[in-house]
Amino acid sequence: MDLRLTGKVAVVTGASKGIGLAVARTLLDEGARVAAASRTTGPGLDALAGPGLLHVPVDLMDPAAPGQVVERAVQHFGGLDILVNNAGGPPPGATLPRFGFMTPTDDDWRDMFEFNLFSAVRAIRAAIPHLLARGGGSIINVSSVNARHPAPMNVDYNAAKAGMNNLTKGLSEEYGPQGIRVNSVSPGPVRTDWWTKDGGAADIIGAQAGAGRAAVIDKVAPEMMALTTGRLADPQEIADAVALLASPRSASTTGADIVVDSGFLKEL
């Protein structure tokens, strides 16, 4: 299926690995030009180098950074059609999961909202005038099923993502009549660096469960979260949903939250 993205210009944050890298690769494969924002590059992003890719090295904890990314994309490619707010998860220097409400400090809460919500707010604020100048476009916010599944684990992260879902709905109402569609994609557990790195979620859970990293990823975590498919999702599965929402083929989809969670959410 042709997603009709050839020549479109996209900004993707958190694009050096995991879901963001898969999104950047997928949009490039569909003919879009991509401004990929991340603190550093990496082998996966370097492999995509070409005239359609612009890497913008920024730290999204800096309030000025999201606007700088948007402006670099517009200057380099001549406009903007798609914004993918993918950057999220543990802020720089933090490790998740964290257990219990009393664990995160005020600084932890501030950093979590700065990285997972405020960076998206600032990117959207910078992007909207450029999207309007093109007659509309698409904003996709990468949220999380945890926004809809309150729990005493990662309470600050869950609250930030709930805020992102609310923001998505509000923006879709305000800007839909002007041609800007705003949607979210909510992944469940995804086989990314968050899980697989040294000291990551699999190691933390494994220390409590008495299991190794591979066993946690392949068995303990899917069973603990009652994943219907029995496995963590692949980043490409999230990227496919993002690309479809970015496409004009989703012209009547706005204000939606697309869940790609291996069957984690059981609620209607």
The residue ranges of every structural domain in the chain are 9-190+234-260, 191-232
Nearest partner of 191 among 212, 169, 218, 172, judged by Cα = 218
Task: Output the average pLDDT for the chain.
Answer: 96
Is the pLDDT assigned to residue 257 strictly greater than 90? Answer: yes
Tell how far CA 23 is from the center of its chain.
9
Task: Give the model's pLDDT for residue 234.
Answer: 98
Is the pLDDT assigned to residue 9 strictly greater than 90? Answer: yes
Confidence of residue 77 (pLDDT cuts 50, 70, 90): very high
CATH code matching the domain that covers 9-190+234-260, chosen among 3.60.21.10, 3.40.50.300, 1.10.150.240, 3.40.50.720? 3.40.50.720
What predicted TM-score, i.e. pTM, was given to this entire model? 0.96
Confidence of residue 250 (pLDDT cuts 50, 70, 90): very high
157 belongs to the catalytic site: yes
- 242 CB burial (10 A radius; 0-12, 13-18, 19+): buried
DSSP state letters, the chain: -----TT-EEEEES-SSHHHHHHHHHHHHTT-EEEEEESS--HHHHTT-STTEEEEE--TTSTTHHHHHHHHHHHHHS---EEEE---SSPTT--S--BSTTSS-HHHHHHHHIIIIIHHHHHHHHHHHHHHHTT-EEEEEE--GGGGS--SBSHHHHHHHHHHHHHHHHHHHHHGGGTEEEEEEEE-SBSSHHHHSTTSHHHHHHHHHT--HHHIIIIIHHHHTT-TTSSPBPHHHHHHHHHHHHSGGGTT--S-EEEESTT-----
96-145 pLDDT tens trace: 889 999 999 999 999 999 999 999 999 999 999 999 999 999 999 999 99
Q: What are phi and psi of 233, to 5 degrees?
A: -75, 160
Confidence of residue 194 (pLDDT cuts 50, 70, 90): confident
Task: Give the model's pLDDT for residue 267.
Answer: 86
Task: Give the model's pLDDT for residue 65.
Answer: 98
Is the pLDDT assigned to residue 268 strictly greater than 90? Answer: no
Say which of 77, 118, 157, 195 is annotated catalytic: 157
For residues 57, 33, 167, 108, the Cα torsion angle rounded to the nearest 10 degrees is -20
Report, as an integer, the average pLDDT of 140-168. Answer: 96
Report, as an integer, the average pLDDT of 217-238. Answer: 96
Task: Give the model's pLDDT for residue 155.
Answer: 97
When mean pLDDT is compared over 77-86, 144-153, 204-213, the highest value belongs to 77-86
